[in-house]
Amino acid sequence: MRQISRAAVLWQLIAFIAVVLPHFGWLPWWLIGLCVGAPALRLMIHAGRWPFPHWSIKLALVVAVSGGLLLTFNRDTGMSATVALLVAGLALKMIEIYHRRDALVLLYVALFVAATTFLFYQSIGVALYVMLALGVVITALNSIFQNPMQNDMMRPLRRSGRLLLFSLPMMLVLFLLFPRIGPLWSIPLDRQAARSGLSDTMSPGEISQLTRSDELAFRAAFSDAPPLPSQRYWRSLVYSHFDGRRWTREPWEQRARLEDERLIDESSPVTYEVIYEPSRRRWLVALDQPAVAPRDYRLGYARTLVSDRPVDRRINYEVTSYLQYKLSPELLSERKRALFLQLPEAGNERARALADQWWRAAQQRPEPFVQQVLNYFRGDFSYTLTPPALQGDTIDQFLFETRQGFCGHYAGALAFLLRSVGVPARVVGGYQGGEWNPYEGYLTVRQYDAHAWVEYWQPAGGWVRVDPTAAVSPDRVEGSADQVFAQDPAFLSETPLARLRLGQDGWLAELRRRAEAINFNWHRWVLNYQGQQIELLKGLLGQLSMVKMVLAMMGPVALILAAVAWFQLRDRRRRPSDPISRGLTTILKRLERQGFQRHPSEPLHRFLRRVAEAAPEVADPLLRLAQADEAVRYAEDPGQRDTLLSAVKACQNALARNTSVIHKRIEDEKAGR
């Protein structure tokens, strides 16, 4: 039960504030109040203004905080509630910091709370901040082990700085080589933190909802030049069922029974790495058309890339796609044909009639028919984020009345028209475009890049992509979404500040791209290191095996440990091992700092007697030490060893207590002289 120094108490306060500060962004207001109030209260106690609180006050605080947590989180045991509980406990413990034991509890929990920061934020800035906070906690940990009489704030800081510096290489080795294991248990994630993204149904207005958000969807890194903007079709989902209002995917059992589609002609391969943000959904993205599925994922229904589990963390994978391709034109099976010709029995009669008319005019050939539809769109249709609401026969209304729509409207209408004349067709959902970052060579695709287009089947060429939006608004495909929508008030309405951020020119945009490039590397190489680790290790070690992995892990760690051990042992050799000699060494060092230097020919007892004469404050323990040392060292009286040990201890304590007194007197004497 050792008391900690006053400087150490201050370090506890600083450490506490450092670890809870990043959580202020989401903590309930009353908990933030507690986090500010607790250190303030402890500071008042520290200053001697207030006494330590009575146990009844502490009890009341515990009850109040428990009640507050129950009310705020309503029996939710999610991540936020757990961390809030930890923070609350930390704040309450803060108040009663006095003994080393209390400080240890506080600091160990503080380390844990510092780590939980990463559950909420993962940017470089936060990582650097948490490193800093870690340094503060280590310093606080150091400070509680220094002499309670010492009040130097800087000493523990210097010491922990040294410690962290020495542990840096170990940290790097462990980061590079420690195998990333899947989580042993999972934390229930918060429901409200659901993110926006493509959904598995598409009603006409659906996709325009996404354009309200500039949230990152994914990034794709290219080693060479990226594909042209008009080729950046990121395929994600295929909608094949139309119920008269919305397009949906076939149920899982239906999809599973469909035959695979094969590529028969392929050129312009491009290989890239996708860093995909967590979406809580199972579908991924790939450029039209992916060649084969990357490791861990598979190529599913209608050549879309899927994961077997919902993507709940950032993942990355490498894909090769063929920008020029031809799919096998083998006759569709009956089941498939029925699937891609499905339409509601009735409804949208005007559209069906128009389609029939065009189909005859096109002499029942799909290409002229599609051209006809696109020409029609090029007429007085407009491309907007805020189309009027549609009711009843939505296709008819869109084609003949409102004539305003987003990509979903056009794609849905085209697919409907094609199906109504007997051409198999489907709507493809995904993203189109992406912003090129020249510094790191990657495309950034945000939620507002979400897009929908159409694929129809023709006997000669298989499935062919056609994007009706390109006919209405060529800029959307050639340029980027943010340029097209810049004037539209609905665009990015959820994050108004983002409009400023997304300017294309000027130094601000330049700066933003550079910052994004750094962040991209951070995500790719640090947060998502998991994937690269295996590649890196393979590159270093060749074919991976258990033995090699273990050796690669143990090698550097053993090397570092050996170096540390060597330093320690070398130190040990210089430093005597028994407590008496060690204590005497410390005493001599301390006296030397005070200006008392032993002459080589001066035996210890004589030196101590000389110092005792000069420093009457500590004369008594020094003289006792001198006598005991002589008795043990020269008279070799074994009975005196215990006396000597206690004399050493007493002397150390006396010197520590009187350091400043002796120092001051010596200074005075110097000045007097």
Partner 1 sequence: MTKALASGVDDALSALEKVLLGKRRQVRLALTCLLSQGHLLIEDLPGMGKTTLAHGLARVLGLEDQRVQFTSDMLPADIIGVSVFESGSGEFRFHAGPVFCQLLLADEINRTTPKTQSALLEAMEEGQVTADGHSYRLPKPFFVIATQNPVTQYGTFPLPESQLDRFLMRISLGYPAPEVERELLAGGDTRERLDGLPRCLKPDQLIEVQSQCRQVHASAGVIDYLQRLIQYTRDSDLFSYGVSPRGGLALLRCARTWAWLDGRNHLVPEDIQQVLEPVIGHRVRPADDIGSHAGARLVNELLAQVDVLG
User: Position of tokens 């150091």?
Assistant: 142
Measured CA to CA, the distance from residue 429 to residue 4 in angstroms comes to: 63
Give the orientation angle of helix 124-143 with respect to helix 6-20, to 10 degrees: 160
379 near partner 1, judged by CB under 8 A: no
Q: Identify the residue among 343, 490, 604, 645 touching partner 1 (CB under 8 A).
A: 604
Pairing status of strand 201-202 against strand 233-239: unpaired
Quick one: tokens of 478?
Answer: 């050639």
Q: Which is nearer to partner 1, 268 or 581 (CB)?
A: 581
Q: Which is nearer to partner 1, 506 or 639 (CB)?
A: 639
Interface size with partner 1, residues (CB under 8 A) = 13
Measured CA to CA, the distance from residue 525 to residue 505 in angstroms comes to: 28
User: Position of tokens 């491009």?
Assistant: 270
Measured CA to CA, the distance from residue 588 to residue 648 in angstroms comes to: 11
Measured CA to CA, the distance from residue 89 to residue 515 in angstroms comes to: 37
Measured CA to CA, the distance from residue 93 to residue 19 in angstroms comes to: 14
**Given CA atoms 475, 476, 477, 483 in this order, what sign does their dihedral have?**
positive
Contacts 24+ apart (CB under 8 A), 174-181: 174/557, 175/529, 176/533, 176/536, 177/533, 177/537, 177/552, 177/553, 177/556, 178/553, 179/533, 179/549, 179/553, 180/529, 180/530, 180/533
Q: Identify the residue among 500, 636, 638, 670 touching partner 1 (CB under 8 A).
A: 636
Quick one: tokens of 212?
Answer: 């309200």
* 467 labelled catalytic: yes
Q: Minimum Å distance from CB 579 to partner 1?
A: 17
Q: Identify the residue among 630, 648, 655, 662 touching partner 1 (CB under 8 A).
A: 630
Q: Identify the residue among 606, 610, 641, 649 touching partner 1 (CB under 8 A).
A: 606
Q: Which is nearer to partner 1, 195 or 633 (CB)?
A: 633
Strand partners, 335: none
Strand order in the sheet with 315-327: 315-327, 263-276, 216-222, 442-446, 435-437
| Segment near partner 1 (CB under 8 A); pick from 263-271, 398-406, 438-446, 633-641 | 633-641
112 near partner 1, judged by CB under 8 A: no
Q: Minimum Å distance from CB 637 to partner 1?
A: 9
Q: Identify the residue among 219, 605, 609, 624 touching partner 1 (CB under 8 A).
A: 605
Indicate the length of the chain as a whole number: 673
Q: Minimum Å distance from CB 606 to partner 1?
A: 7
Phi, psi of 286 (to 5 degrees): -155, 150
Using an 8 Å Cβ cutoff, are 238 and 285 in contact?
no
| Segment near partner 1 (CB under 8 A); pick from 116-124, 167-175, 506-514, 634-642 | 634-642
| Segment near partner 1 (CB under 8 A); pick from 143-151, 247-255, 329-337, 631-639 | 631-639
643 near partner 1, judged by CB under 8 A: no
Q: Which is nearer to partner 1, 122 or 627 (CB)?
A: 627
Q: Minimum Å distance from CB 600 to partner 1?
A: 4
Q: Which is nearer to partner 1, 261 or 629 (CB)?
A: 629
Measured CA to CA, the distance from residue 24 to residue 110 in angstroms comes to: 15
Q: Minimum Å distance from CB 575 to partner 1?
A: 14
Phi, psi of 602 (to 5 degrees): -90, 115
**DSSP class per residue in 588-654:** HHHHHHTT----TTS-HHHHHHHHHHH-GGGHHHHHHHHHHHHHHHTS--GGGHHHHHHHHHHHHHH
What x-and-dash track marks residues 319-348 binding partner 1 by CB under 8 A? ------------------------------
What x-and-dash track marks residues 138-167 binding partner 1 by CB under 8 A? ------------------------------
Q: Which is nearer to partner 1, 350 or 606 (CB)?
A: 606
600 near partner 1, judged by CB under 8 A: yes
Measured CA to CA, the distance from residue 564 to residue 576 in angstroms comes to: 19
Q: Which is nearer to partner 1, 223 or 601 (CB)?
A: 601
Q: Which is nearer to partner 1, 295 or 574 (CB)?
A: 574
Angle value at C-alpha 201, between 200 and 203, nearest 5 degrees: 155
46 near partner 1, judged by CB under 8 A: no
635 near partner 1, judged by CB under 8 A: yes
Measured CA to CA, the distance from residue 597 to residue 640 in angstroms comes to: 26
Q: Minimum Å distance from CB 636 to partner 1?
A: 5
User: Which of these is catalytic: 214, 393, 467, 482?
Assistant: 467
The SS3 call for residue 242 is strand
639 near partner 1, judged by CB under 8 A: no
| Segment near partner 1 (CB under 8 A); pick from 4-12, 389-397, 504-512, 628-636 | 628-636
Strand partners, 298: 306
Q: Minimum Å distance from CB 148 to partner 1?
A: 31
User: Which of these is catalytic: 407, 409, 523, 629?
Assistant: 407
| Segment near partner 1 (CB under 8 A); pick from 189-197, 457-465, 487-495, 593-601 | 593-601
* 629 labelled catalytic: no
603 near partner 1, judged by CB under 8 A: yes
User: Position of tokens 């991209």?
Assistant: 520
Using an 8 Å Cβ cutoff, are 625 and 608 in contact?
yes
What part of residues 390-449 is at the interface with partner 1 (CB under 8 A)? Answer: none
| Segment near partner 1 (CB under 8 A); pick from 85-93, 124-132, 419-427, 603-611 | 603-611
Q: Minimum Å distance from CB 147 to partner 1?
A: 26
| Segment near partner 1 (CB under 8 A); pick from 356-364, 380-388, 448-456, 604-612 | 604-612
* 35 labelled catalytic: no
| Segment near partner 1 (CB under 8 A); pick from 21-29, 159-167, 460-468, 598-606 | 598-606
User: Which of these is catalytic: 23, 241, 409, 451?
Assistant: 451
Q: Which is nearer to partner 1, 243 or 602 (CB)?
A: 602
Q: Minimum Å distance from CB 634 to partner 1?
A: 5
User: Position of tokens 């005075």?
Assistant: 668
Q: Which is nearer to partner 1, 26 or 596 (CB)?
A: 596
| Segment near partner 1 (CB under 8 A); pick from 47-55, 115-123, 527-535, 596-604 | 596-604
Q: Which is nearer to partner 1, 248 or 627 (CB)?
A: 627
Q: Which of 447, 435, 515 is nearest to 214 (CA)?
A: 447
Q: Which is nearer to partner 1, 461 or 603 (CB)?
A: 603
634 near partner 1, judged by CB under 8 A: yes
Angstrom CA distances, 557 to 231, 319, 540, 561, 568, stand at: 48, 35, 17, 6, 16
Residues noted as catalytic = 407, 451, 467
**Residues of the shown chain interacting with partner 1 in the complex, contacts defined by CB under 8 A:** 599-606, 630, 633-636
